[in-house]
Amino acid sequence: MMRTGIAAIVFAASTVGAQPADTPAPGAQNNPLEQEITPELDAAVSAGIAYLAETQQPDGAWESGRYGKNVAITSLACLALMSDGHMPGRGELGDVVDRGVDFILSTSKESGLITSEANNGPMYGHGFATLFLGEVYGMTPGGDNPRSDRVHEALVKAVRLIEQTQNDEGGWRYNPVPYDADVSVTICQIMALRSARNAGIEVNAQVIDRAVEYVRMCQNSDGGFKYQLGSGNSAWPRTAAGVASLFYAGIYEDDAIEKGLGYLETNALPGKSSPSRSHYFYGQYYAVQSMYLAGGRFWEIWWPAVRQELLASQNDDGSWDDRSVGPPYGTAMALIVLQMPKRYLPIFQK
């Protein structure tokens, strides 16, 4: 079993060409299934991408009901576009992503917090926005230009804020203060830190060690994950987040991962079980990442099942509806899931 100190070494080394302490099990990155991408999937993605492009606001944000102009939804919508090859300034919809970057940069505070007026629980949005900026910074040409400098500055400040607001347990919660933590907000910060590190930003390895230990302590004996430390029931969306947390911290072979994947297979496999629809898109967003990184039979059984389920639930206008957050969010999440086989975003690779 890998321990947390090794996890931090793997997290750091894997982005600079060094070999990790253990050779990770092969995921789906270099092992595609036959017919992963079908004509039906291509058509659904095209319709969903068109819906997002049409619903972007003039200032680059996406609105979603009571959540208003939200940095998390905007970041996810742009990541969905980037998953289709649209990059800032490049690609058919590069200008749409460009406007999204401008909106996120406009919400970056001097403290490093990325949040808009409409955001409740700002660390959720901050985590997704930092992930987005990390992918943008890592995937677009740098050079000496004001825009690149602004992205770099905002990204560094955002990373430092994450490091400074980790609580004593090793996690994060809704607000940028180190008081309490939950596994759902914690995965957002782990992914943000991994993306930033991939892009060349220095990340404190001790922060990752402590985050891994917190995630471990949130796992129940049935393999599922509870929301916070102490007593709590397992649930499939946060179990998907917990497994993904360990993968993104650089751990690829571990009893905690195997138990978590088993819990997901039993309790949330699309078409074979009837999991709660609460937090459905959030759960599938992390579940498909976990299965992709696990590879092998996990990817083989999960991918065709979630693809079929999502294609069947798309609306006529190209959107997917999330009852709690709204169509822009549901559409962005569904598109990120459906485009995993395109393998464009660095964050989804080992």
Place of tokens 């969306």: 237
Q: What average pLDDT does the chain have? A: 90
Rounded CA separation 345/325 (Å): 24
Mean pLDDT of the region 31-51: 95
| Helix 255-268 with 280-294: angle, nearest 10 deg | 130
Place of tokens 């321990």: 3
Q: Which two tokens stand for residue 273?
A: 């079980």
- What is the pLDDT, as a whole number, of residue 12? 47
Give the confidence band of 273 by pLDDT, cuts at 50, 70, 90: low
Query: Which CATH number characterizes residue 221's domain?
Result: 1.50.10.20
Give the confidence band of 275 by pLDDT, cuts at 50, 70, 90: low
Weakest mean pLDDT among 24-28, 317-321, 343-347: 24-28
Alpha-carbon separation of residue 66 from 53, 63, 117, 142, 280 (angstroms): 21, 9, 12, 36, 19
Q: Burial-class residue 319 by CB neighbours within 10 Å (0-12, 13-18, 19+).
A: buried
| pLDDT (tens digit per residue) in 287-342 | 999 999 999 999 999 999 999 999 999 999 999 999 889 999 999 999 999 999 99
Domain enclosing residue 307, as ranges = 4-14+30-348
pTM score, whole prediction: 0.91
| Helix 327-338 with 71-82: angle, nearest 10 deg | 30
What domain count does the chain have?
1
Give the confidence band of 20 by pLDDT, cuts at 50, 70, 90: very low
Residue bearing the bigger pLDDT, 147 or 172? 172
In a domain, 55, yes or no: yes
Weakest mean pLDDT among 10-14, 184-188, 265-269, 314-318: 10-14
In a domain, 22, yes or no: no
Q: How many CA atoms lie within 13 A of 89 on its CB side?
A: 10
Q: Which two tokens stand for residue 31?
A: 């092992």
Q: Are 244 and 40 in contact (CB under 8 A)?
A: no
Q: Quick check: 160 pLDDT over 60?
A: yes
Dihedral over Cα of 85, 87, 91, 94: its sign: positive
| pLDDT (tens digit per residue) in 211-252 | 999 999 999 999 999 999 987 999 999 999 999 999 999 999
DSSP H/E element including 168: none
Q: Quick check: 80 pLDDT over 60?
A: yes
In a domain, 242, yes or no: yes
Q: Quick check: 19 pLDDT over 90?
A: no
In a domain, 151, yes or no: yes
In a domain, 321, yes or no: yes
CA-nearest of 139, 132, 87, 94 to 114 is 132
- What is the pLDDT, as a whole number, of residue 3? 40
Rounded CA separation 108/179 (Å): 23
Dihedral over Cα of 125, 178, 153, 130: its sign: negative
User: Residue 120, Cβ neighbours under 10 Å: how many?
Assistant: 13
Q: Quick check: 4 pLDDT over 50?
A: no
In a domain, 20, yes or no: no
Mean pLDDT of the region 142-167: 91
In a domain, 162, yes or no: yes
Phi, psi angles (nearest 5°) of residue 127: -65, -45
Q: Which two tokens stand for residue 233?
A: 């029931």
In a domain, 209, yes or no: yes
